[in-house]
Amino acid sequence: MTNPDSTKGASRKRGRRSMTLYAEGEPMVWLTGGALAIALLMIITMLVYVGFMGAANFWPLPIVEVRTASGELLLGEVTRQQLYQPPVANLAQLDEARLKRVQGEMGERDGFVRRRLVRTGNYELTGSRFHWVSDYNIDEEHNPEWAIVAERMEWGNFYGYPLSFLIDGEVVADTPESVWAQVQAIHKEIRARWQSRKRLETHDIGRANREEERARLAMVDAERRFDGGAIGAEQRDQARRDYEETFARVRKDHARITAEIRALNQKNERYVLRMRTGTGQETTLHLADVVRAYPANRLTAAQKTGVFLSRWREFLTDDPREANQEGGVFPAIIGTVTMTLVMTLFVVPFGVLAALYLREYAKAGPLVSAVRIAINNLAGVPSIVFGVFGLGFFCYIFGGYIDEWFYSARLPAPTFRKGGVLWASSTLALLTLPVVIVATEEALAAVPSSMREGSYACGASKWQTIVRIVLPRAMPGIMTGMILAMARGAGEVAPLMLVGAVKLAPDLPLDFMNWSGTLGPILTGPIHLDRSFMHLGFHIYDVGFQSPDSEAARPMVFTTTLLLIGIIVVLNLSAMVLRGKLRKRFMTGAF
Q: What is the CA radius of gyration of the chain?
A: 33
Chain segment 305-324, per-residue pLDDT in tens: 999 999 999 999 888 888 78
Residue 227 CB-half CA count within 13 A:
5
Cβ contacts of 212 within 8 Å, gap of 6 or more: 246, 247, 250
DSSP-based three-state secondary structure for 377: helix
For the residues 550-555, what does the mean pLDDT come to?
77
State how far the alpha carbon of 520 is from the alpha carbons of 97, 214, 257, 424, 517, in Å: 78, 11, 29, 19, 9
Q: What's the pLDDT band for 591 if we cut at 50, 70, 90?
A: very low
* pLDDT tens digits, one per residue of 1-39: 445 555 555 545 444 555 565 556 677 788 888 899 999
Helix (H) or strand (E) holding 274: strand 271-276
Q: How far is it, in rounded angstroms, from Cα 117 to Cα 182?
A: 32
Q: Return the pLDDT at 26.
A: 73
User: For the ranges 94-103, 115-124, 193-202, 229-238, which has the lowest average pLDDT?
Assistant: 94-103
Report d(CA 181, CA 165) in Å as an integer: 10
CB 84 within 8 A of CB 113: yes
Query: Sign of dihedral through CA atoms 505, 506, 512, 517?
Result: negative
What are the residues whose beta carbons fall under 8 Å from the beta carbon of 557, sequence distance 6 or more?
A: 540, 543, 544
| pLDDT for position 103 | 64
> Percent of the chain, pLDDT > 70?
89
Output 373 or 527, whichever has higher pLDDT.
373
**CA distance linking residue 38 with residue 26, whole number of Å:** 18
Considering only CA atoms, which of 235, 437, 268 is closest in space to residue 348?
A: 437
pLDDT of residue 260: 93
User: Which alpha helices (H) appear in 468-549, and where do they start and end?
Assistant: 471-491, 496-499, 536-545
Of all residues in the chain, the percent with pLDDT exceeding 90 is 32
Q: DSSP letter at 327?
A: E
Q: Is the distance from CB of 590 to CB of 475 less than 8 angstroms? A: no
DSSP bridge partners of 63 = 77
Strand locations in 41-121, DSSP E? 63-68, 73-84, 113-119
Which residues, 6+ apart, have CB-to-CB distance to 138 below 8 Å? 66, 67, 68, 69
Position 92 pLDDT exceeds 80: no
pLDDT, residue 434, reads 92
| Cα(437)–Cα(350) distance, integer angstroms | 9
What does the pLDDT read at residue 305? 93
Of 28, 285, 37, which Cα lies nearest the Cα of 166?
Answer: 285
- Cα angle vertex 335, ends 332, 340, to 5°? 125
Distance CA 322, CA 286 (A): 17
Task: Report how far residue 338's alpha carbon sits from residue 512's, in angstroms, rounded to the nearest whole number.
Answer: 13
Residue 568 has pLDDT above 60, yes or no: yes
**pLDDT (tens digit, 9 = 90+) per residue, 337-388?**
899 999 999 999 999 999 999 988 888 888 888 888 888 888 888 889 999 9
Q: Which residues make beta-bridge pairs with 150? A: 158, 293
pLDDT score for 110 = 66
Residue 291's H or E segment, with its range, is strand 290-295
What are the residue ranges of helices labelled H in 109-227?
123-126, 176-199, 205-227
DSSP 8-class letter at 510: B
146 touches 174 (CB < 8 A): no
Report whether pLDDT(521) > 70: no
Helix (H, G, I), strand (E, B) or coil at 125: helix
* 3-class secondary-structure state, position 311: helix
How many C-beta neighbours within 10 Å does residue 267 have? 14
Residue 49 clears pLDDT 50, i.e. is over it? yes
Those residues whose C-beta lies under 8 Å from the C-beta of residue 435, and which sit 6 or more positions away, are 351, 379, 481, 484, 485, 488
- What's the rounded Cα separation, in Å, for the pair 189 and 193? 6
Q: Which pLDDT belongs to residue 518?
A: 42
How far apart are alpha carbons 527 and 530 in whole angstroms? Answer: 9
Specify the pLDDT at position 164: 92
Q: What is the pLDDT of residue 327?
A: 86
User: How far is residue 444 CA from its own chain's centroid?
Assistant: 35
